[in-house]
Amino acid sequence: MAHELPALPYPYEALEPYIDTATMQIHHDKHHQAYVTNLNNALKDAPAEVQAMSAVDLIKNLSKVPEAIRMAVRNNGGGHVNHTQFWEQLKVGTSEPTSGPLADAINSAFGSLAALKEALEKAGTTRFGSGWAWLVVKDGKLAVTSTPNQDNPLSDGSGAPILGIDVWEHAYYLKYQNKRPDYLKAFWSVVNWDDVAARFAAA
């Protein structure tokens, strides 16, 4: 069963003016598609039980993947999982958490939503080169972390990601050029907090 590119759950222009239409087209149709294609190519001759694993199971269990294709699966399986979550957690106009379990957990771990945003912006800004900044749930508590390349926090047990910010240049360069901090500031206008709250409840 081949892995497939999920459809974008909204039109390319839905995140304007914060994330531009051209970036969304290239990011979804070219970059995400390439991760899916390369993942399927890597798995072509893999054992049947590895071919049967979901992308999330693959990145959670990289030690079960034959060593010859493990790096390709880590990079492209990670790219597939990370971007699938990324599209789902983006939306303009949802309400920031002010009460409820997610808001309580944010206040308990960071003191305030503003402090959480600051921690995520710092994680994104200081990630050298390409990677992701993450809000994760570990042992029932929230934490901020970051990963290089397409690594996912599920792979090394650093937590279940409930919000991921793609800081690869391909995520922002057309509109923000070298100004990654400006992209990170604008990112708060496109967070689907309903999706983050649902992932927190499930974690």
CB-nearer residue toward Mn ion: 168 or 183: 168
CB-nearer residue toward Mn ion: 151 or 166: 166
Least distance CB 150 / Mn ion (angstroms): 8
Least distance CB 193 / Mn ion (angstroms): 21
CB-nearer residue toward Mn ion: 51 or 130: 130
Tokens 């240049």 belong to 169
**Which of positions 109-168 make contact with Mn ion (CB under 5 A)?**
166, 168
Contact 171, 183 (CB under 8 A): yes
Interface size with Mn ion, residues (CB under 5 A): 3
**Residue 35 engages Mn ion in binding (rule: CB under 5 A):** no
Contact 133, 123 (CB under 8 A): yes
Least distance CB 132 / Mn ion (angstroms): 9
**Which of positions 158-187 make contact with Mn ion (CB under 5 A)?**
166, 168, 171
Least distance CB 107 / Mn ion (angstroms): 30
Cα torsion at 16, 7, 27, 194 (round to 10°)? 50
CB-nearer residue toward Mn ion: 107 or 149: 149
Least distance CB 78 / Mn ion (angstroms): 11
**Which of positions 55-84 make contact with Mn ion (CB under 5 A)?**
none
Contacting residues toward Mn ion, per CB under 5 A = 166, 168, 171
